[in-house]
């Protein structure tokens, strides 16, 4: 998969060299290219922002540098057509489902902004020719879109074939469509069997696969109903068994 990021803070994307994403790059599974938006300015101060039409506080990112940057990046991969992901708090929520869809794409371009965001005409211009997704990583406002890009790239990269050591390890994650069908994952334990007087639940060391699976499902249901009752309400009733309903 190819990933391009256009930003005024290329150094903010350095964590993409680390850990799972870094290993995926080293293994040739991810081709990450970070571009400095200021390279596409032509004034002495490399200006990327200006005052908002209509007045109001803050600055807005100018369309010209974004247009030049995106044209250059797009031309470098033509005729392939990327999905362009625009991080913004006013976008649609980033979910595991969207991460899964993006993981099926061959090429993603991310446009993290600063200030009050990017001049709207840029979204319209590229939205007319490409699949442009405005995406929010949560109901809060950050200073810039670089951290959201790190979040989204990591969520997408771990779903790519060959990136996780064990291909099944995201199957039962929270939100995943696997055995837990959109529930949150329950608690997890490792050795030693007792730590500071706290024992691992007996069922987990019973070796009884049926009881372990039932316990995991009950814990997932309990945690979901405590922390995210909205997910239980959205659950497909057909995905619940009679023990779930009793719980």
The verdict on 144 binding ligand SAM (CB under 6 A) reads yes
CA distance 175 to 147: 21
Size of the site for ligand SAM (CB under 6 A): 19
Integer Cα distance of 240 and 156 in angstroms: 28
Query: Is residue 113 close enough to count as binding ligand SAM by CB under 6 A?
Result: yes
CB-nearer residue toward ligand SAM: 86 or 180: 86
**Please, what is the minimum distance in Å from the beta carbon of residue 56 to ligand SAM?**
10
- How many alpha carbons fall within 13 Å on the CB side of residue 15? 11
90 makes contact with ligand SAM (CB under 6 A): yes
Residue 238 CA to residue 44 CA, distance in Å, equals 63
Mutual angle of helices 146-157 and 96-103, in 10-degree steps: 70
Over the range 29-43, which residues count as b (16 or more CB within 10 Å of their CB) and which as e? ebebebbebbebbee
For residue 140, say whether it is annotated as part of any ligand binding site.
Answer: yes
Q: Could you say which of 64, 68, 105, 116 is catalytic?
A: 116
Per rule CB under 6 A, is residue 141 in the interface with ligand SAM? Answer: yes
Q: Is 87 an interacting residue with respect to ligand SAM (CB under 6 A)?
A: yes
Contact 117, 59 (CB under 8 A): no
82 in Cβ contact with 74 (< 8 Å) = yes
65 forms part of the interface with ligand SAM (CB under 6 A):
no
Q: Which span sits near ligand SAM by CB under 6 A: 41-49, 76-84, 133-141, 180-188? A: 133-141
Tell the smallest beta-carbon distance from residue 84 to ligand SAM (Å). 13
Q: Pattern 155-194, binding to ligand SAM, x per CB under 6 A?
A: ----------------------------------------
Looking at the Cβ atoms of 138 and 201, the one nearer to ligand SAM is 138
Distance CA 167, CA 158 (A): 9
- 3-class DSSP assignment, residue 61: strand
- Among residues 64, 125, 134, 173, which one is catalytic? 173
Q: Which residues bind ligand SAM (CB under 6 A)?
A: 87-90, 112-114, 116-117, 136-138, 140-145, 148
């Amino acid at each position: 998969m190819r990933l391009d990021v256009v930003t005024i803070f290329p150094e903010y994307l350095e964590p993409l060299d680390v850990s799972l994403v870094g290993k995926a790059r080293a293994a040739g599974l991810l081709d990450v290219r970070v571009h400095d938006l200021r390279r596409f300015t032509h004034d002495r101060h490399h200006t990327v922002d200006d005052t908002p039409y209509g007045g109001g506080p803050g600055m807005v990112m100018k369309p010209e540098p974004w247009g030049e940057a995106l044209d250059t990046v797009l031309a470098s991969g033509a005729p392939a057509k990327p999905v362009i992901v625009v991080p913004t708090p006013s976008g649609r929520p980033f979910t595991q489902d969207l991460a899964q869809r993006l993981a099926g794409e061959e090429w993603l371009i991310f446009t993290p902004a600063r200030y009050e965001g990017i001049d709207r005409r840029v979204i319209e211009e590229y939205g007319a020719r490409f699949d442009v997704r405005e995406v929010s990583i949560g109901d809060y406002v950050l200073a810039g879109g670089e951290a959201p890009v790190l979040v989204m790239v990591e969520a997408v990269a771990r779903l790519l074939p060959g990136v996780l050591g064990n291909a099944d390890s995201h199957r039962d994650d929270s939100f995943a469509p696997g055995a837990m069908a959109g529930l949150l994952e329950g608690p997890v334990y490792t050795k030693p069997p007792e730590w500071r007087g706290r024992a691992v639940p007996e069922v987990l060391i019973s070796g009884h696969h049926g009881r372990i699976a039932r316990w995991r499902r009950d814990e997932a249901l309990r945690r979901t109903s405590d922390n995210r009752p909205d997910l239980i309400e959205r659950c497909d009733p057909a995905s619940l068994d009679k023990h779930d309903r009793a719980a």
